[in-house]
Amino acid sequence: MNKSKNLLSIILFMMTLLLLAGCNVESRALWQVRHSPNPEKRMQAVKKLGEIGNEEAVSALIKALDDKDVRVSITSMEELSDLEVKAIDDLLGALEHQSTEVRRRAIQALGRMYGEVFRLIYEHKRFDLLSGKEAYVDRVGVGLIEKLADADYCIRKAACDLLIKWSRWWKPDSTAAQPLIRAYAAVASESFTQSPPVIVDPMSEAVYRTPHDRRRARYRVIIDLMMETADPRLVPSLIDALANEDFTVSDLATSALGRIGGDEAVKALISMLDDTGSHHHYTATQALANIGDSAAIERLIEALDDEDVFIRQYAASALDDVDDRRAVDALIKALDDESCQVRGAAVFSLGVIRDDRVLPALVEALDDDSAHVRASAAYFLGVTGDARAFKPLRRAMYDDSSIVQESAIRALGRLGDGRAFQPLISISTLSHRKPGMRIAAAGALGELGDPRAVPYLERLLADEYLEVRHAAANALWKITGRSYEVSEEGARTFPNVCSH
């Protein structure tokens, strides 16, 4: 009997020692993470806390993400990344707990666990830490979306705040579609007969001063996530959101429809374009162009003849990336529009389209009444790389407007035609009175890469303006591969390089 008592005492004593040893290990690790001046010791302590994995250890690991030594931060992130899988099911389960306080604390824990981890992953390009865990991240994101429809406004606010932060990094997949539809329906059906108390959280990404502000914030995050999800099932909700009183919400919904596409989306966007009272004509034209089907393109072409000059301009801008011969013909016709804004938008769109009919149209635009339209035409003629643009651009070098002259000079450099050398050295001399022209010519000579330009550019290293000297040095480096020192002695500077 005495032997049994003695054995039991020994076992209890050993267990106590082991427990105390464990506590000492944890306490020592916690102290080292928080106070040790040695980063190596902090790293070892972080690894030890990862092995312990209790609530206090996790809390310390989260704080260690902000360690001044990046190695400690990364190690903390790695340990948390391993621990998150163990904790995720419990936290997701807690989101459904009947206690509001439990649900709120679960959201807080998720925010602490993922917020800093995401930031460090993207800042330090450690995307490998997300490998194989995307499903866990998506599960948490979907769980937070579900909480946007929670019965308690504090939970809705907490979920909204966290999703606003998450939207910088997290891109939901199709599993988020149905939860987003439910969340949207819940927000849309809210009434304000009984207003919850106002809480202003200075640390919050979104400050909610009224129930309407809180609802607008949730609308915005829902529509933003819908746009990223881009699931066709979301179209009815997005069409409904087009009538939202918040401009940001309805504008996001317009863009989202353009990303998703489909017949219903096109019909809704065309209706927006037909609505003279709509404030989303620009976004609607861009959305239709993004969809790019026959009905969308046809409506954009029709919009080039609209009575509203802004709609004509928006339509011309939207057709810049449309692979449709009808669009090219319509844009060439728009070069005769009475508005220089429409003509300028048409030049820009034609300039990025690869079509044989574009170059003659741009050459013709060099005679436009507007200097800005002529300058744009010169720019895009240089982009074509077509030798037929050389003579029109050389002529444009002597335009009445200095902005056209400068655009033509730069375009000749981009064109890469050796015939541009002689016209350019006549411009890039110390005798030219406009420094902007000398800068443009130096840049163009650098693009041409002709060694004959070296002595002319070396002269510009003594130009009265520092900006001209730097342009010459950069051009010389492109031609010779050598770095030229730029002296600031006696140089003047001007805040805005402007030749006109």
Give pLDDT tens digits for 18-71: 333 444 556 776 767 777 888 888 888 878 877 776 667 777 777 777 778 878
Q: What span, in angstroms and rounded, lies between the C-alpha atoms of 63 and 79?
A: 13
Burial class (CB in 10 A: 0-12, 13-18, 19+), 344: buried
pLDDT digits (tens, 9 = 90+) for 359-396: 999 999 999 999 999 999 999 999 998 999 999 999 99
User: How much is the average pLDDT of 194-201?
Assistant: 43
The pLDDT assigned to 126 comes to: 63
The pLDDT assigned to 498 comes to: 44
Write down all domains in the chain, each with its CATH number in brackets. 421-500 (1.25.10.10)
**Mean pLDDT score across all residues of the chain:** 82
∠108-114-118 over CA atoms, to 5°?
A: 145
Q: In the chain, what is the straight-line distance between the N-terminal and C-terminal CA atoms, in Å?
A: 107
Give yes or no for residue 16 having a pLDDT over 60.
no
pLDDT digits (tens, 9 = 90+) for 440-495: 999 999 999 999 999 999 999 888 889 999 999 999 999 999 998 888 877 777 65
Which amino acid is located at 242 in the chain?
L
Give strand pairing partners of 492: 465
Give strand pairing partners of 465: 492
Give yes or no for residue 192 having a pLDDT over 50.
no
The pLDDT assigned to 170 comes to: 80
User: How much is the average pLDDT of 142-156?
Assistant: 89
Total-model pTM: 0.71
Instruction: Tell me the pLDDT band of 140, cut-offs 50, 70 and 90.
Output: confident
Instruction: Tell me the pLDDT band of 255, cut-offs 50, 70 and 90.
Output: very high
Which amino acid is located at 456 in the chain?
Y
Q: Which of 168-172, 232-236, 320-324, 453-457 has the highest mean pLDDT?
A: 232-236
The pLDDT assigned to 199 comes to: 42
Give yes or no for residue 3 having a pLDDT over 60.
no
- For 217, the token pair is 């914030």
Give yes or no for residue 226 having a pLDDT over 90.
yes
The pLDDT assigned to 7 comes to: 46
∠112-110-234 over CA atoms, to 5°?
A: 130
The pLDDT assigned to 497 comes to: 45
Instruction: Tell me the pLDDT band of 200, cut-offs 50, 70 and 90.
Output: very low
pLDDT digits (tens, 9 = 90+) for 411-439: 999 998 899 998 888 875 545 678 888 89
Q: Which of 37-46, 91-100, 354-363 has the highest mean pLDDT?
A: 354-363
Residue 349 carries which DSSP code?
H
The pLDDT assigned to 499 comes to: 43
* Residue 498 or residue 453, greater confidence: 453
Which amino acid is located at 215 in the chain?
R
